[in-house]
Amino acid sequence: MILTVTPNPALDVTYHLGEVVWGGGNRVARVAARAGGKGVNVARVLAALGMPATVLGPLGGRTGDAVREGLAAAGLQDATTHVAGETRRTTTVVDAAGEATAFNEAGPRISAEEWTQVVDAYRELLPGARAVALCGSLPQGLPDDAYTDLVAAARDAGVPVLLDSSGPALRAGLAAGPDIVKPNADELLEATGESDPPRAVASIADRLRAAGGGAVVASLGPRGLLAATGSGWWRARLPYAITGNPTGAGDAGVAALIAGLLGGRPWPDRLAEAVAWSASAVAAPEAGDIDRTTYVTARAHVIVGAVEPPPPPSAPSSSDPNALIGDGRATHRHR
């Protein structure tokens, strides 16, 4: 099985409506509520791909009970632990144009004892895991290096580990050398202080190499993915836009990267799959779902190209920060 860890899970509530009137009344056309949080979404996509996934994270209160019910309904293996606080809710408002606005509650404060229960369960599950995905923000009460110990434990067990987080948690986790780091553009800039995504990717790649880690795959939203890997730098993108709910697109990309890692695929193929599955998630109404028709079309049109890494920090940066993340060189489709 594949183990996904979500330290701050949620009940995801999505409002669908034609147009949002801020400051006025709105009629909601449809409401959906389901178990959520980044790792839960990753597990849901993996299950859709036929790869068994186990969900680990702390849940509490009536909202936590609703999340547990949602995990069972989705056919996901539930390894969650109990906490005293109330699990958070996240509310996403999606209009007809595909604009999504999220309202994310902070979540409960987790005590040291409650986190120890999560870590103990994690260590028990590791021997049976083919890969681990550590996903999302850390809840209140946890130190910034909470992910560091989890990455180190996976590496000690010989289990590939992907880290998808942000801010201090991302910076601290790099020290343990995860196999793949999957931030988005904003998270990159926040974690490194760099002014453009390519240099931020290079900064994190340097830290990973120093720690014995692997690749950085940065999500650039509609502009696709930028990856720094052991076999070179790559850019993957679609030549057209996908309209829909982008909330779970990054999580679908994480699922595809794990599948590619376990399948031993070359990096261009992994990235093409990640872009196509991300597109299929945008076309689906709720985070954690995928639209297979969109996937098939997108997979046939993904463009992957090798790109040159940015110059070292001492060299002047390009006047165009997007130059590196253009079409790339030796560009070709990976079907």
How far out from the chain centre does Cα 324 lie? 23
**Residue 296 tokens, joined:** 């098939």
Measure the CA–CA gap between 260 and 272, rounded to whole angstroms: 10
Q: Which of 196, 251, 289, 291 is catalytic?
A: 251
User: Do residues 112 and 79 touch, judged by C-beta distance below 8 A?
Assistant: no
Measure the CA–CA gap between 14 and 25, rounded to whole angstroms: 17
**Residue type for 271, please?**
L
Residues paired with 32 in a beta bridge: 14
- 164 a catalytic residue: no
User: Active-site positions?
Assistant: 251
